[in-house]
């Protein structure tokens, strides 16, 4: 493992050698998390990109906790463009979901295959509600009223 640090970015590079093909593959991961927040239909929608990991989870938890406290309590996390989630990121998701639920809110995650695989691997799909799109997550939060 090679760790490179400059003033602006922290890059974590893993060098993976595929023994079968004798090909070296370099994966460069930028340790950052970016996003936007939108309030719509009595919920907050966070669209995140980058990495949800040990380097970003503390800031993520603080921002989300503050936004949940301020309301609305219903949260949609659009993680469809997240590149990587580690155990710290999963812990932050669980903690944020618990905070939303304890405030009588609902917590929905828009996932991508990578995030879904990670969540299912540790069996958190029983607790975290994964949706394929923001529209599906909104429908879960605002079900059509039956008359």
Residue ranges making up the domain that contains 97 = 32-141
CB 12 within 8 A of CB 24: no
Classify residue 93: in a domain, yes or no: yes
Of the candidates 68, 64, 74, 65, the residue with the CA atom closest to the CA atom of residue 40: 74
Classify residue 101: in a domain, yes or no: yes
Classify residue 114: in a domain, yes or no: yes
For the segment 107-130, what is each residue's pLDDT rounded down to a tens digit?
999 999 999 999 999 999 999 999
- Residue reference for tokens 């400059």: 6
Domain containing residue 57: CATH number: 3.30.750.24
Six-digit token string for 138: 């909104």
CB 105 within 8 A of CB 73: yes
Rounded CA separation 7/110 (Å): 33
pLDDT for 147 equals 53
Rounded CA separation 130/110 (Å): 6
Predicted TM-score of the model (pTM): 0.76
Classify residue 12: in a domain, yes or no: no
Classify residue 43: in a domain, yes or no: yes
Reported as a pLDDT band with limits 50, 70 and 90, residue 146 is: low
The residue among 40 and 89 whose pLDDT is bigger is 89
Of the candidates 84, 8, 76, 29, the residue with the CA atom closest to the CA atom of residue 52: 84
Classify residue 61: in a domain, yes or no: yes
Indicate the number of domains in the chain. 1
Q: Average pLDDT, stretch 135-143?
A: 91
DSSP bridge partners of 108: 76, 129
- Residue 61 confidence (pLDDT) above 70: yes
Classify residue 102: in a domain, yes or no: yes
Of the candidates 10, 9, 87, 89, the residue with the CA atom closest to the CA atom of residue 48: 89
Classify residue 47: in a domain, yes or no: yes
pLDDT for 140 equals 93
pLDDT for 41 equals 81
Of the candidates 123, 125, 73, 120, the residue with the CA atom closest to the CA atom of residue 96: 73
């Amino acid at each position: 493992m090679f760790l490179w640090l400059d003033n602006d970015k922290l890059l974590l590079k893993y060098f993976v050698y595929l023994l079968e093909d004798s090909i070296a593959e370099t994966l460069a991961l930028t340790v950052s998390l970016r996003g936007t927040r939108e309030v719509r239909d009595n919920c907050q929608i966070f669209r995140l990109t980058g990495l949800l990991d040990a380097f970003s989870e503390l800031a993520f938890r603080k921002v989300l906790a503050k936004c949940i406290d301020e309301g609305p309590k219903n949260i949609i996390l659009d993680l469809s463009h997240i590149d990587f989630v580690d155990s710290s990121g999963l812990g932050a998701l669980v903690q944020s979901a618990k905070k939303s639920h304890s405030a009588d809110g609902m917590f929905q995650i828009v996932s991508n295959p990578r995030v879904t695989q990670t969540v299912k691997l540790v069996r958190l799909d029983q607790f975290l509600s994964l949706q394929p799109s923001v529209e599906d997550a909104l429908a879960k939060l605002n079900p059509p009223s039956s008359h």
